[in-house]
């Protein structure tokens, strides 16, 4: 019983498909008559209403077929196979059919085309307006970004100039500080040297004076009347020291009559002064700083 109902359903579907084709074939007969351009829309509406009625009939038929009670579990496979055959037949039927125009009346088609073109035109105008508005916004954003970029470059250039100036000032200040420090140290060394020389001069004047004309017997042993050209111990050391500093490669000084022999002997014995290994008349100050 279920197989018979499935076959009836397949037959109904094929009949409906055939009925739809027949209805579509009737359309050209309706549209063969000349229609006034003013009534083109009304004619199209009537054709749509007829097609809608046919679709409602097919829908009601399908609803009735679907509302039937399902068969027992033993007959479900047979029912599914039958439905598959029906759907396959419907699929082949739709594959064979070519797209059909709703109406063959050129005036109706022209009216529909104009309406469609107007609709597309409005949509395109809306799209164009949106695109133009977006382009304007993008141009403004680009202008702002370019202005911001120029400002950042100007700030960066200013920072670089400030950095270069600060580097120069730092170098100049550093050099000035070093120069002032060296100058201060040099002044302190000069002052210290002056103090040492004064202290040394006072010490030498006190303990190593020049021989006097009315000296004691020990001094008369060397010279009854000391020469007026004799130099002090301080001057002897100063001459030797200047020679050692100015010409360290040739620090020897030639001994003449201005060097008082007792002082010269004292300096040689104490190791402060050395003789030249080849010329005993030449002496030099010991290089204590080396």
| pLDDT value of residue 272 | 87
Taking CA atoms, 77 is separated from 9, 61, 74, 194, 287, in Å, by 16, 23, 7, 130, 127
39-45: long-range contacts, CB 8 A cutoff, minimum separation 24:
40/105, 40/107, 40/108, 40/111, 41/108, 41/111, 43/103, 43/105, 43/108, 44/102, 44/103, 44/108, 44/111, 44/112
Q: Helices 40-67 & 106-207, crossing angle to 10 degrees?
A: 80
pLDDT digits (tens, 9 = 90+) for 150-202: 999 999 999 999 888 888 777 677 777 888 888 899 999 889 888 888 888 88
Across the chain, the runs of DSSP E, i.e. the strands, are: 253-254, 273-275, 282-285
Q: Residue count of the chain, please give it.
A: 290
The reported pTM is 0.35
Residues 256, 7: Cα–Cα separation, whole Å? 156
Q: What are phi and psi of 266, to 5 degrees?
A: -65, -45
Q: How far is CA 75 from the centre of its chain?
A: 75
Tell me the β-bridge partners of 282.
Answer: 254
Cβ contacts of 27 within 8 Å, gap of 6 or more: 47, 100, 102, 103, 104
> What whole-number distance in Å separates Cα of residue 58 and Cα of residue 15?
10
What's the pLDDT score for residue 25? 41
Predicted pLDDT at 151: 92
CA distance 20 to 32: 19
Q: How far apart are CA 282 and CA 118, in angstroms?
A: 126
Burial (0-12, 13-18, 19+ Cβ within 10 Å), 13: buried
CB-based contacts of 233, cutoff 8 Å, min separation 6: 204, 208, 263
Rounded Cα distance between 1 and 4, Å, is 5
Cβ-based neighbours of 54, under 8 Å, separated by 6 or more: 19, 20, 23
Q: Give the count of alpha carbons within 13 A of 171, CB side only.
A: 5
Mean pLDDT by runs of 10 across the 290 residues of the chain is 46 47 40 51 80 82 64 70 85 73 73 89 94 93 93 92 82 77 89 86 81 49 53 86 87 88 88 89 82
């Amino acid at each position: 019983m279920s197989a018979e109902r499935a076959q009836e359903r397949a037959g109904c579907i094929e009949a409906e498909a055939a009925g739809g084709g027949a209805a579509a074939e009737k359309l050209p007969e309706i549209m063969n008559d000349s229609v006034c351009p003013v009534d083109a829309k009304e004619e199209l509406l009537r054709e749509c209403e007829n097609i809608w009625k046919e679709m409602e009939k097919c829908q009601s038929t399908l609803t009735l077929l679907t509302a039937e009670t399902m068969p027992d579990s033993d007959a479900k496979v047979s029912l599914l196979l039958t439905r598959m055959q029906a759907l396959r037949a419907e699929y082949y039927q739709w594959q064979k059919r070519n797209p059909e125009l709703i109406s063959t009346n050129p005036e109706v088609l022209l009216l529909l085309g104009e309406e469609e073109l107007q609709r597309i035109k409005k949509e395109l105008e809306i799209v164009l307006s949106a695109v133009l508005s977006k382009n304007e916004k993008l141009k403004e954003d680009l202008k702002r970004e370019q202005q911001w970029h120029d400002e950042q470059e100007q700030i960066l250039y200013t920072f670089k100039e400030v950095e270069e100036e600060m580097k120069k000032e730092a170098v100049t200040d550093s050099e000035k500080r070093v120069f002032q420090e060296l100058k201060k140290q040099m002044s302190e060394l000069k002052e210290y040297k002056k103090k040492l020389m004064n202290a040394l001069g006072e010490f030498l004047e006190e303990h190593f004076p020049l021989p006097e004309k009315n000296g004691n017997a020990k001094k008369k042993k060397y010279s009854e009347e000391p020469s007026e050209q004799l130099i002090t111990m301080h001057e002897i050391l100063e001459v030797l020291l200047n020679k050692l500093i100015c010409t360290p490669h040739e620090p020897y000084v030639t001994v003449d009559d201005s060097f008082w022999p007792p002082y010269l002997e004292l300096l040689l014995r104490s190791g402060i002064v050395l003789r030249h290994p080849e010329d005993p008349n030449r002496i030099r100050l010991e290089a204590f700083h080396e």
